[in-house]
A and B are shown apart, each in its own frame.
Chain A
Amino acid sequence: MKNYLLFFIIIIFACIQVTALNYFRIFSVKPDILFISMVAVSLLYSPIWAISFSIFAGMLKDLLGVSAPCLNTVLFPIWCLIIIRLGKKISLDSNLARVILIFLLIIINDIVVRTINLSAGSFTSSGIFFKILFLESIYTALVSPLIFRAIQHPFFAS
């Protein structure tokens, strides 16, 4: 496995997330490809690597964003552990199952992020929150098969 190469891929995804992806906004919402890559590594890689990649992706998101300190650095590995556990109980091999998983996780993640941001004094009105929650979860879920395909590319496999 050329696992270390995935660190570069995550860096590239982070760069795309903050630059080119802005051209693909729908109603000012863009998909979260760092989140998708976290889910992808959780499902496709061994737990140690998956958690390492998740922490790395979370760190990059915190570095480039302005959320509460280390919020994603902490949340991403937690989601990663939950996905690993879930993957042992139910089959998440089909694209549809992964899309549904990402859709649900984005909703839960956004609710958690909003709650933490609210307690940190950052306010978002309910209307804006539900609009972003709805659009982001659908958009990210729909884009996820592309990211999965990129991460599953034979180049990264042994």
Chain B
Amino acid sequence: MANFNKKTVTFYLVLSLVVLSLSTLVSPLKEPALIILKLPLTVLSLIDREINGIIFYHRNYAQNEQLRNEIALLRQKINNSNEVYLENSRLKNLVALKKDTPYKVIVSKVIARSPDNWTSVVIIDKGRHHGINKGSVVLSYLGLAGKVIEAQNFTSKVMLVNDPNLAVSCIDQRSRQEGLISGTLGNSLTMRYLPRDADVSVEDVIVTSGLTENYPKGLLVGKIVSVGEEFSGLSRYAIIKPCVNLYNIEEVLVIIP
């Protein structure tokens, strides 16, 4: 139990009285005190806000840096995944074609392209050792790509259909009109030797006729984008957009005997 003596009780009583009397005084003092303190408080709150801002900025800056790094890493991962996904889908298409096609084919990767601008040639990573010979027909899963013109043991050179030195007999799938396709070293092919009254029109599908040696009948070549008349006026020609993107071809199928 607490031991209260006279002195202590008196002290507490006096203290209570002082507090009570001051509390009556505080209310009228409140307003002028606040008016006086308003400016320093405002300044202090501003400083506090600024300090908070600086701390916040630094914390966010560091967090931002970290997030940026994470984004860069994730972007890299997404790019890698996309690349794998695209390769996977291309290979799936090739495998599907390999299963569906009646020909014996082998899959090969394009490793280089011609060093000059006068030919449209690619080098593939398979050669005689894998059964490829000069003259073998090369496909992409979208259609005809070209022909092997040189076969080494482990590599081969493939002349693409957009090379002017490669000519393939083709037919219009709708009208069965025959013509000879050759390249322009660009993004299009030309179908020549069409008679003046040839039944060919834009959007017609062009396929191989099977008349050129080694080329099986019915391989998709492309679509007609325009039809014109030769300078001599004796025959017509058709410009064809190849179904295969010959500039970005990465994997091919080679028909082997």
Which A residues lie within 8 Å of B186 (CB)?
A: 27-28, 128
Interface locus among B6-14, B32-40, B116-124, B197-205? B116-124
Which A residues lie within 8 Å of B112 (CB)?
A: 15, 18-19, 64
Tell me how far the C-beta of B180 lies from the nearest C-beta in chain A, rounded to whole angstroms: 13
> In this complex, what residue of A is CB-closest to B159?
A66
Q: Which of B115, B117, B150 is the one whose CB lies under 8 Å from A28?
A: B117
B115 touches A64 (CB 8 A): yes
Which B residues lie within 8 Å of A27 (CB)?
A: 186
Which A residues lie within 8 Å of B113 (CB)?
A: 18-19, 22
Which B residues lie within 8 Å of A67 (CB)?
A: 116, 118-119
Complex-state Cα separation, A19 to B109, whole angstroms:
13
B247 touches A25 (CB 8 A): yes
Which A residues lie within 8 Å of B225 (CB)?
A: none
Could you tell me the dominant secondary structure of chain A's interface residues?
helix
Which A residues lie within 8 Å of B114 (CB)?
A: 18, 64-66
A interface residues, tally (CB under 8 Å)? 31
Complex-state Cα separation, A34 to B115, whole angstroms:
9
A132 touches B185 (CB 8 A): yes
Tell me how far the C-beta of B165 lies from the nearest C-beta in chain A, rounded to whole angstroms: 5
A123 in the interface (beta carbon within 8 A): yes
A65 touches B116 (CB 8 A): yes
A151 in the interface (beta carbon within 8 A): no
Q: Which of B113, B116, B187, B247 has the most CB of A within 10 A?
A: B116
Tell me how far the C-beta of A143 lies from the nearest C-beta in chain B, rounded to whole angstroms: 13
Which A residues lie within 8 Å of B115 (CB)?
A: 14, 17-18, 32, 34, 60-61, 64-65
Tell me how far the C-beta of A63 lies from the nearest C-beta in chain B, rounded to whole angstroms: 9
B157 in the interface (beta carbon within 8 A): yes
B116 touches A29 (CB 8 A): no
B106 in the interface (beta carbon within 8 A): no
Complex-state Cα separation, A19 to B164, whole angstroms:
22
Tell me how far the C-beta of A6 lies from the nearest C-beta in chain B, rounded to whole angstroms: 18
Which A residues lie within 8 Å of B165 (CB)?
A: 122-123
Tell me how far the C-beta of A71 lies from the nearest C-beta in chain B, rounded to whole angstroms: 10
Complex-state Cα separation, A66 to B150, whole angstroms:
9
> In this complex, what residue of A is CB-closest to B150?
A66
Which A residues lie within 8 Å of B159 (CB)?
A: 66
B118 touches A30 (CB 8 A): no
> In this complex, what residue of A is CB-closest to B158?
A66
Task: State the B residues within 8 Å of A (CB).
Answer: 112-119, 121, 123, 149-150, 157, 159, 164-165, 184-187, 247
Can you report 12 residue pairs joining A to B where beta carbons are below 8 Å apart? A17-B115, A18-B112, A18-B114, A19-B113, A25-B247, A29-B117, A64-B114, A64-B123, A65-B119, A66-B159, A122-B165, A125-B184
**7 A-B pairs with the lowest CB-CB distances in the bound complex, closest first:** A18-B112, A17-B115, A64-B115, A65-B115, A132-B117, A29-B117, A66-B121
Task: State the A residues within 8 Å of B (CB).
Answer: 14-15, 17-19, 22, 25, 27-30, 32, 34, 60-61, 64-67, 110, 113-114, 117, 122-125, 128, 132, 135-136
